[in-house]
């Protein structure tokens, strides 16, 4: 089986359920003798493995009780508060890749780029990041202090550190100067200090290189657990955006780590669409994916959200095409983004629903009204179907895992690094890497590339994989008038917005609770 069974020890999770207070819980012994202490539970390496499973599962589920029951985060809906769904909201909805027509709370503010520090969706993402960091910190703290010191424990600690690094990558990318909590912080402290973006970058590079050797080599861990390839991809993402984060570019370092990734992994998957199907665990190109299924990782986020929001409800034929039992509708693609694809591009997986709906409910190419469920084409990139035409194990919750890192991304990062001045790889290597991705989509190889080709190819290859916001910022396109798309800034024709929207605000609830935190400029 590709899936791991999610096991949950409440006594551990209760210790790290806080947000800004994730290192501030009191170290007390309960009076009630019926309360189970972590010390009573963590009596074997297997018990620690079960807690580590929660660190993984928290990326996929909202709680351990079901898709929307008793969510891990207080005050945040278990549906939209799921980690990967919140990540999609923050990194896709503000861009040309996605518009959502729902009127839930302030969700429209995401694409319109007019959110505030009290926005519930901004808060949900921040909360998920620091809940995950808290889980990993508590695992690392207790594992290091345990009496079980073995190669297996060392590897599990490294995996928890790698998962923590992923969340700190999301924090530095979206929020900038953020609270900084580690497993070494004393229990009972008043709340994390704030770390500058540049200092967090430096710590992350050092931290990843420190635990790298304790992870399984690339391709040698079981599916669903991280290895050195995962850690190298986080390093690559840091180097890719180093100039944004610190003011100093790291193109040579980026090219070097990307070459290491490319050399270690097999060639790209022959069929692009296989990467986003219910049996995508078979794809060696996927370095790491958040797992989804109807038994162990039921969630209203991950690919459940992505697939069901791509189709309308009540249309059995359309639902069968996507391999699910219902549809929520609401997610569309801007026409400006679709226009970046040639007709022969295998990644051009957009349509108006015309095979399943009549002319009255057919989707329009243009988005005249972003609140309309039929304005804007949708995509069938993600499906709960298998490569042989079958279905996932169930239709209520898809079996399609959500890729976090893929080798194709490393190919495109290598090409960008060289175009931006890296000397640790050649122009020939950059062109070869770009063409490997480009021709896999059924397109002819090109003789030369520039940075405009890179940003467009990254969009075509990686759309809805939660990188577009960061990419547009690096190319100075997210908030400026350099690139305009439908409903950018809340106007149908699009407009520029203030540059402070390149960062999300620290939630007001956090700055109010922790006087050490300084709000990002403009909020």
143-153 average pLDDT score: 93
Q: Indicate the pLDDT class of residue 38, thresholds 50, 70 and 90.
A: low
Residues 350-359: tens digit of each pLDDT: 999 999 998 8
Residues 183-232: tens digit of each pLDDT: 998 765 667 999 999 999 999 999 999 999 999 999 899 999 999 999 99
The pLDDT value given to residue 19: 32
Task: Please count the CA atoms within 13 angstroms of the CA of 263 that sit on its side-chain side.
Answer: 9
- Provide the token pair at 30: 């309960």
- Provide the token pair at 404: 């976090």
Average pLDDT, the chain: 90
Interhelix angle 228-240/251-264, nearest 10 degrees = 150
Residues 257-305: tens digit of each pLDDT: 999 999 999 889 999 999 999 999 999 999 999 999 888 888 889 999 9
- Provide the token pair at 457: 């190819």
Integer Cα distance of 268 and 371 in angstroms: 38
Integer Cα distance of 186 and 478 in angstroms: 40
76 or 324: which carries more pLDDT confidence? 324
Q: State what percent of residues in the chain have pLDDT above 90.
A: 82
* Residues contacting 444, CB < 8 A, separation 6+: none
Q: Indicate the pLDDT class of residue 21, thresholds 50, 70 and 90.
A: very low
Note the pTM of the prediction, 2 decimals.
0.92
210, containing H or E segment: helix 197-211
Residues 376-413: tens digit of each pLDDT: 999 999 999 999 999 999 999 999 999 999 999 999 99
Residues 409-448: tens digit of each pLDDT: 999 999 999 999 999 999 999 999 999 999 999 999 999 9
Integer Cα distance of 394 and 373 in angstroms: 26
Q: Indicate the pLDDT class of residue 83, thresholds 50, 70 and 90.
A: very high
């Amino acid at each position: 089986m590709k899936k791991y069974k999610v096991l949950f020890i409440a006594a551990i999770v209760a210790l790290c359920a806080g947000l800004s207070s994730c290192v501030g819980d009191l170290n007390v012994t309960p009076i009630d003798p019926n309360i189970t202490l972590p010390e009573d539970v963590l009596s074997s390496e297997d018990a620690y493995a079960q807690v580590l499973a929660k660190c993984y599962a928290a990326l996929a589920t909202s709680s351990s009780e079901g898709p929307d029951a008793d969510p891990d985060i207080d005050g945040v809906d278990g549906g939209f508060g799921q980690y990967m769904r919140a990540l999609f909201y923050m990194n896709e909805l503000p861009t040309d890749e996605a518009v959502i027509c729902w009127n839930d709370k302030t969700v429209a503010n995401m694409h319109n780029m007019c959110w505030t520090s009290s926005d519930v969706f901004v808060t949900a993402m921040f909360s998920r990041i620091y809940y995950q960091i808290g889980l990993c910190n508590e695992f690392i703290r207790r594992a290091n202090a345990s009496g079980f010191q073995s190669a297996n424990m060392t590897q599990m600690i490294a995996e928890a550190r790698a998962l923590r690094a992923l969340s700190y990558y999301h924090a530095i990318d979206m929020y900038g100067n953020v609270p900084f909590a580690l497993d070494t912080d004393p229990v009972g402290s008043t709340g994390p200090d704030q770390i500058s973006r540049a200092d967090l970058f430096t710590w992350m590079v050092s931290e990843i290189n420190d635990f790298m050797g304790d992870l399984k080599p690339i391709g040698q861990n079981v599916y669903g657990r991280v290895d050195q390839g995962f850690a190298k991809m986080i390093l690559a993402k840091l180097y890719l955006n180093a100039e944004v984060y610190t003011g100093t570019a790291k193109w040579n370092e980026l090219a070097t780590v990307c070459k290491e990734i490319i050399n270690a992994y097999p060639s790209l998957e022959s069929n692009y669409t296989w990467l986003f199907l219910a049996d995508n665990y078979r794809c060696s190109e996927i370095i790491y994916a958040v797992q989804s299924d109807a038994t162990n990782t039921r969630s209203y986020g991950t690919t459940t959200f992505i697939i069901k929001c791509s189709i309308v409800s009540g249309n059995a034929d359309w639902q069968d095409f996507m391999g699910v039992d219902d549809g929520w509708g609401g997610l569309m693609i801007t026409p400006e983004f679709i226009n970046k694809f040639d007709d022969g591009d295998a990644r051009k997986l957009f349509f108006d629903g015309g095979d399943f709906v009549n002319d009255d409910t057919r989707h329009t190419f243009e988005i005249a009204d972003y609140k309309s469920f039929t304005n804007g084409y949708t995509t069938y990139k993600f499906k709960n179907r298998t490569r042989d035409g079958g279905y996932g194990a169930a239709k209520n919750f898809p079996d399609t895992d959500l890729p976090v890192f893929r080798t194709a991304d490393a190919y495109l990062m290598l090409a960008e690094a060289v175009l931006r001045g890296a000397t640790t790889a050649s122009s020939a290597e950059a062109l070869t890497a770009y063409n490997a991705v480009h021709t896999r989509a059924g397109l002819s190889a090109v003789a030369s590339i520039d940075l405009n080709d890179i940003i467009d190819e990254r969009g075509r290859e990686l759309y809805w994989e939660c990188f577009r916001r960061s990419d547009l910022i690096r190319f100075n396109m997210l908030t400026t008038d350099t690139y305009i798309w439908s409903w950018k800034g809340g106007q149908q024709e699009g407009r520029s917005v203030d540059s402070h929207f390149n960062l999300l605000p620290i939630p007001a609830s956090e700055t109010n609770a922790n006087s050490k935190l300084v709000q990002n400029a403009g909020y």
